[in-house]
Amino acid sequence: MKVDMDAVRLLMEEAATTTILPHFRKLESKQIDQKAGPHDVVTVADKASEEFLTPRLQALIPGSTVVGEEASSADESIMDALRRPGYAWLIDPIDGTANFAVGSQLFAVMVALVKDGDAVAAWIYDPIRNICAMAEKGKGAVMREADGSTRKLSMPKPPSLAHISGAPNLRYGDRDFAARIAYRMDKTAGVMILRCAGQEYLAMLDGHFHYAVYNRAMPWDHTAGCLLITEAGGIAKRLDGSLYRAADKPWGSPLVAACGEEQWNWLKQDIFDA
């Protein structure tokens, strides 16, 4: 089935304009709730954005299901739709909510279309810069700029490990693994953590970052980004060598997205496995 890439982008832009940006830097404390812990928050804007997008995305593909972050937080069984045949939409209504809640511009809206457990289309929209990265499986990735122009995305490949910088997100998961990576970061060019997977994927697509590591890989956080990275010439695999899938369980072998296969192997051999 052919999906209208611009129709989805326009819905994301409308969601941002009507449900997200009116709350930016205007949230009251009563409009921010905690979910699983102090770093896991939700705002009225998250809920409104997901409620806006859910029926409109479903209408684009009759019979499709929706797996939204906020609905799934209330009912984990919703994620089972990713492991059933057919089409499912993945929605992260505001990625980087902790940033959004304190007035940081580093947040994004992410949508992925999944068929039979694998991503077939992806969108990451930055409401502040009004840019949107988009990809269809097997057709490459593009960036739509604020002026309406588009450009093909192709990730640059650093010539050595010493030229690589990235985002090793180590808050969750195995503490020994985190300590091992932290101890070896001096072999790379540097570390930049944005506290927003969507913004980190956008940074990788434009060559500002060259890799990112995630111990916890929730589908709404990474499905869109992994397809975009792959279609822009990079790779998104778990450390055990398996490709990332939307149908995967969130916890497992850490997810490493990188600008290329060779760079992924350098990181695995010299940082993660050594």
Question: What mean pLDDT comes out for the span 86-115?
Answer: 97
pLDDT at 35 (0 to 100): 76
Three-point CA angle 119, 120, 126, nearest 5°: 80
Q: pLDDT per residue over 5-57, tens digit each?
A: 999 999 999 999 999 999 999 999 999 988 766 677 999 999 999 999 999 99
Model pLDDT, residue 129: 98
List of domains in the chain: 5-152 (3.30.540.10), 161-272 (3.40.190.80)
Residue 171 half-sphere exposure toward CB, CA atoms < 13 A: 12
Cα–Cα distance between 100 and 25 in angstroms, integer? Answer: 8
State the binding site for Mg(2+).
Answer: 69, 92, 94-95, 221
Closest CA to 88 of 62, 110, 66, 55: 66
Cα separation, 169 vs 27, whole angstroms: 27
- Return the exposure string of 253-266: e unless at least 16 CB atoms fall within 10 Å of the residue's CB, then b: ebbbbbbbeebbeb
The binding site consists of 69, 92, 94-95, 221
Q: Confidence class of residue 177 from pLDDT cuts 50, 70 and 90?
A: confident
